[in-house]
Amino acid sequence: MFGYVRPFKPELKINEFDTYKGMYCGLCKQLGRDYGLLARMTLSYDFAFLAMLSMGTHGERVQFKRETCIAHPFTKRPCMCANDDLSYVAACAMMMLYYKWKDNIADSGFFKRCGYRVLGPSVRRSYKKAVKRYPELDAVMQNTLARQQQVEAAPGCTVDMAAESSSRALALIFEQLAAGETQKKVLHRFGFLLGRWIYLMDALDDLEDDRKSGSFNPLLRWEKTRAAGAEHPDQEVKRQAEAMINVTHGEMALAYELVELNRYKTILDNIIYLGLPAMKNQVLSNRRKKPNDRPL
């Protein structure tokens, strides 16, 4: 995904940060083990959050061991051992990468589109392997994300319409973590709102780049239709985006409170209540650095 769902490190305890780093490294190795070396390049804080949430809801004990890796070839660091939760999240990452790749090709200009097409063979190969492992997961995601291009191409596409497909996709991914019907509804709602928050953040983060390149961005459409009469339309659209992000975050936090967690609650609390607002402030102040993710 995009790297917005990350912890606020200054407020994490040392043992919490070590646990998070170990899980992050474990997910990286799981991606490489299941889908090859290039798959590690898709490592994202967003999917690290999904992995921690999955293990938190299931509550099963996991093992760590000290290992070296590509990012730290000379120093052994705690690394979470392979498990079903990491395998599930790695498959989700490959499927989401595939649909995001298709969406980028449709949205981007000529030169960016050519660059994305070069990645096609690797992306398709990983996607097919993930589908073989979790066919039911792809079945629920396929129809939802396939509608994204149709919605964005519609002349009357609003921000809510544009965010709907990716929000529903994440809702379907999250509900798979539930043990019962009540938690399934809770996790569906939480996943939907987190997906919407991520979509809005990405649209805000890419606003100026999309303005220059002509790529699709629902906030630019809003600016042309709703903020055209404002004295500073570019500032007005950012204020509107921040308001939507804040409302979405508030509703998401309410849904999160209903999630039954057996492990890692303090780390997940840190991400939801401190990490997400910190990332929003970085994007609004143009202090966000790309690429999204780097070794912890």
Residue 58 lies in a domain: yes
What total number of domains does the chain contain?
1
Q: Are 252 and 190 in contact (CB under 8 A)?
A: yes
**What CATH number does residue 82 fall under?**
1.10.600.10
Residue 55 lies in a domain: yes
Per-residue pLDDT in tens (0 to 9) along the chain, 296 residues:
579 999 999 999 999 999 999 999 999 999 999 999 889 988 999 999 999 999 999 998 899 999 998 888 899 999 999 999 999 999 999 998 888 888 778 767 677 778 788 888 889 999 999 999 999 888 877 877 777 778 888 888 899 999 998 899 899 999 999 989 999 999 999 999 999 999 999 999 999 998 888 888 999 988 887 766 667 778 889 999 999 999 999 999 999 999 999 999 999 999 999 999 999 999 999 876 555 555 56
Residue 2 lies in a domain: no
Residue 289 lies in a domain: no
Residue 276 lies in a domain: yes
Residue 274 lies in a domain: yes
Residue 92 lies in a domain: yes
Residue 296 lies in a domain: no
pTM summary value: 0.90
If DSSP codes are grouped into helix, strand and coil, which group holds residue 124?
helix
**204-210 LR contacts (CB < 8 Å, sep 24+):** 204/238, 204/241, 204/242, 204/245, 204/283, 204/284, 205/2, 205/4, 205/283, 205/288, 207/237, 207/238, 207/241
- Residue range of the domain that includes 35: 9-284
